[in-house]
């Protein structure tokens, strides 16, 4: 429905409903009718605003969206979301695993924030040869917003470091931890790992 069609139909509703001039309740009725008419106009406007514009009038390009505002056409995914370190010893020191992530969508997206589930684990973003500060667990230091853009098909690495000695002897045994990657494209991505910690 076009805007002019909407207006025409509203006008015809008002005209059909309008009582004969001179009736005592004319002005009260008119107020109600005008009110209803205005509501229909607002509704019609909302419907028109919500309609997608014809593609021909709106040649969307990725370049025009390169500011990477929040959108739903980006998608952050990882081919591997669960890694097993196997048996590792406290004496052996920290272990590292790199997860590949990728924007598999058609629009740029933002990595908003990263944090880990425990203070023994940190996660750092490595993108285009640049390594960002590692992030830890909320509550063990402020977790700032990163708002790092990832273009369609672009890949990055999330480098996770686990310190099996961080909890002392209490940390011996099976562990599972995860890294949460908040992003503008949808649900947070979770990258998990397991390990069996020995002395």
3-state secondary structure of 37: helix
**Is 14 or 165 the residue whose CB approaches Cu ion more closely?**
165
**Is 99 or 193 the residue whose CB approaches Cu ion more closely?**
193
We find the least distance from the C-beta atom of residue 118 to Cu ion, in angstroms, to be 3
We find the least distance from the C-beta atom of residue 137 to Cu ion, in angstroms, to be 8
Stretch that binds Cu ion, among 59-67, 108-116, 117-125, 148-156 (CB under 5 A): 117-125
Q: Kind and range of the H or E element at 48?
A: helix 26-50
Stretch that binds Cu ion, among 29-37, 78-86, 116-124, 148-156 (CB under 5 A): 116-124
Residue 118 binds Cu ion (CB under 5 A): yes
Q: Establish how many alpha carbons lie within 13 A of residue 120's alpha carbon, considering only the half-sphere containing its beta carbon.
A: 22
**Is 121 or 184 the residue whose CB approaches Cu ion more closely?**
121
The residue to which tokens 């990728």 are assigned = 102
Percent of the chain as helix, strand, coil, to the nearest 5? 25, 35, 35
We find the least distance from the C-beta atom of residue 120 to Cu ion, in angstroms, to be 3
**Token reading at 104:** 């598999």
Stretch that binds Cu ion, among 9-17, 35-43, 47-55, 118-126 (CB under 5 A): 118-126
We find the least distance from the C-beta atom of residue 171 to Cu ion, in angstroms, to be 7
Distance CA 109, CA 132 (A): 17
**Is 109 or 158 the residue whose CB approaches Cu ion more closely?**
158
Q: Which of residues 120-179 bind Cu ion (CB under 5 A)?
A: 120
Residues in Cβ contact with 159 at an 8 Å cutoff, skipping those fewer than 6 apart: 96, 97, 98, 123, 124, 125, 126, 131, 134
Distance CA 83, CA 162 (A): 12
We find the least distance from the C-beta atom of residue 145 to Cu ion, in angstroms, to be 24
Q: Which residues bind Cu ion (CB under 5 A)?
A: 118, 120
């Amino acid at each position: 429905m076009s805007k002019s069609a909407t207006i025409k139909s509203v006008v015809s509703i008002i005209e059909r409903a309008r009582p004969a001039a001179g009736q005592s309740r004319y002005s009260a009725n008119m107020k109600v009718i005008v009110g209803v008419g205005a509501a229909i106009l607002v509704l019609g406007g909302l419907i028109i605003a919500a309609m997608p514009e014809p593609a021909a009038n709106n040649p969307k390009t990725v370049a025009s969206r390169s500011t990477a505002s929040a959108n739903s056409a980006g998608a952050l995914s990882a081919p591997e979301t669960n890694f097993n370190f196997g048996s590792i010893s406290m004496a052996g020191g920290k272990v590292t695993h790199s997860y590949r992530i990728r924007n598999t969508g058609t629009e740029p997206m933002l990595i908003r924030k990263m944090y880990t589930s425990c203070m023994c684990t940190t996660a750092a973003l490595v993108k285009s040869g640049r390594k960002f500060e590692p992030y830890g667990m909320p509550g063990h230091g402020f977790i700032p917003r990163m708002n790092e853009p990832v273009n369609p098909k672009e890949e990055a690495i999330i480098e996770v470091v686990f310190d099996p000695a961080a909890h002392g002897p209490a940390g011996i045994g099976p562990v599972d931890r995860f890294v949460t990657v908040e992003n503008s494209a949808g649900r947070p991505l979770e990258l998990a790992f397991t390990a069996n910690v020995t002395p």
